[in-house]
């Protein structure tokens, strides 16, 4: 099974968060294939780069483009609609971005790595919350 990094992980890597980096190194021992991103994480991180306009913009953009990006499919749209209906009925508030990322990860039978505890609410999602 392959890992999918959430935006929170990309930000932690960019900031050089040692605790996150150590945990990721441990994960690499069990999951040797290259981590991937959802379209949503690619988009969110890119927006942050453009807003900040930092001196390291080009390096961060190069880093971002090294990842394989997972896109939506008809199947992920169906999963997304099911998740939205289920959690709305339960009164559990989840952002559309989180639901969309979750649906893509579920559709591809992958494992999300995140620091965002909101993903704990999505039972169907295979996840590691750092």
Q: In which band, very low, low, confident or very high, does the pLDDT at 72 lie, cut at 50, 70 and 90?
A: very high
Cα 126 from Cα 129, distance rounded (Å): 10
pTM of the model: 0.94
Rg (CA), the chain: 15
Q: Which domains does the chain have, with CATH numbers?
A: 3-129 (3.40.50.1010)
**Mean pLDDT for the chain overall:** 96
Q: What is the pLDDT of residues 77-119, one digit of tens each?
A: 999 999 999 999 999 999 999 999 999 999 999 999 999 999 9
Asked if the model's pLDDT at residue 44 lies above 90, the reply is yes
pLDDT band at 1 (very low <50, low <70, confident <90, very high): confident
Question: What is the SS3 assignment for 104?
Answer: helix
Distance between CA 97 and CA 23 in Å, rounded?
25
Alpha-carbon distances, residue 26 vs 6, 29, 57, 106, 129 (angstroms): 17, 5, 28, 23, 14
């Amino acid at each position: 099974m392959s890992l999918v990094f959430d935006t929170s992980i990309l930000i932690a890597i960019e900031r050089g968060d040692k605790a996150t980096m150590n945990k990721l190194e441990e994960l690499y021992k069990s999951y040797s294939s290259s981590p991937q991103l959802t379209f949503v994480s690619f988009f969110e991180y890119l927006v942050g780069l453009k807003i900040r306009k930092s001196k390291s913009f080009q390096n961060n953009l190069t880093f971002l483009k090294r990842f394989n990006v997972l896109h939506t499919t008809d199947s992920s749209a169906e999963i997304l609609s099911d998740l939205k209906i289920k959690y709305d009925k339960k009164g559990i508030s989840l952002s559309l971005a989180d639901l969309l990322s979750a649906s893509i990860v579920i559709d591809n039978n992958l494992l999300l790595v995140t620091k965002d505890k909101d993903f704990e609410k999505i039972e169907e999602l295979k996840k590691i919350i750092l």
